[in-house]
């Protein structure tokens, strides 16, 4: 008969701390994908994955918040280097939409982007995420670089 290893609280915590030491992501979707048995055991023994992490002394809110701070710092840095970036991208999206004779509602139907978000983007009040730009580029039949024309990014650099 095979010698089975059972998932005890101690073993789960040990595995979590080992993954943390290695620098592995600890959010549930990653653990469920790459460490399914650990994810299932953590939920079964502790009730939730976050409770398992908490018992192991890991505060996921801190980890998530530090990631947000980092993304916001990067966004601020880019916007400082290219102060007109939001307006230029927004104008390019609006220009292409109008070239195709589309109303915002048509773009919303094609992309699933909220009307409010498209309006904020086109008016230069927000900067879209890369995935949003990709979706827009596909819906408006343009290369992603089209939206960056006039920003100074990737122009005359041979990239």
Could you report the per-residue pLDDT of 77-126, keeping only the tens digit for each? 777 777 888 899 999 999 999 999 999 999 999 888 999 999 999 999 98
- CATH homologous superfamily, domain 85-148: lambda repressor-like DNA-binding domains (1.10.260.40)
Query: CA 158, CA 51: separation in Å to the nearest integer?
Result: 50
Listed by start position, the domains of the chain span 1-81, 85-148
- The angle formed by the CA atoms of residues 118, 146 and 89, to the nearest 5 degrees, is 40
E-state strands within the chain: none
CA R_g for the chain? 23
Tens-digit pLDDT profile for residues 15-57: 999 998 888 888 888 888 899 999 999 999 999 888 899 999 9
């Amino acid at each position: 008969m095979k010698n089975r290893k059972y998932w005890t609280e101690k073993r789960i915590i040990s595995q979590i701390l080992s993954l943390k030491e290695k620098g592995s992501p600890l959010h549930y979707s990653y653990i469920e994908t790459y460490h399914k048995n650990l994810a299932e055991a953590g939920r079964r023994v502790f009730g939730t994955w976050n409770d398992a992490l908490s018992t192991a002394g890991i505060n996921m809110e801190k980890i998530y918040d530090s990631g947000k701070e980092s993304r916001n710092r990067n966004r601020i840095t880019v916007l400082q280097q290219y102060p007109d970036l939001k307006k230029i991208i927004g104008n390019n999206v609006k220009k292409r939409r109008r070239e195709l004779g589309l109303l915002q509602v048509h773009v919303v139907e094609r992309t699933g982007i909220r009307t409010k978000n498209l309006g904020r983007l086109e008016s230069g009040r927000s900067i879209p995420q890369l995935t949003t730009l990709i979706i827009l580029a596909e819906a408006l039949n343009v290369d992603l670089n089209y939206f960056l024309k006039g920003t100074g990014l990737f122009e005359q650099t041979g990239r």
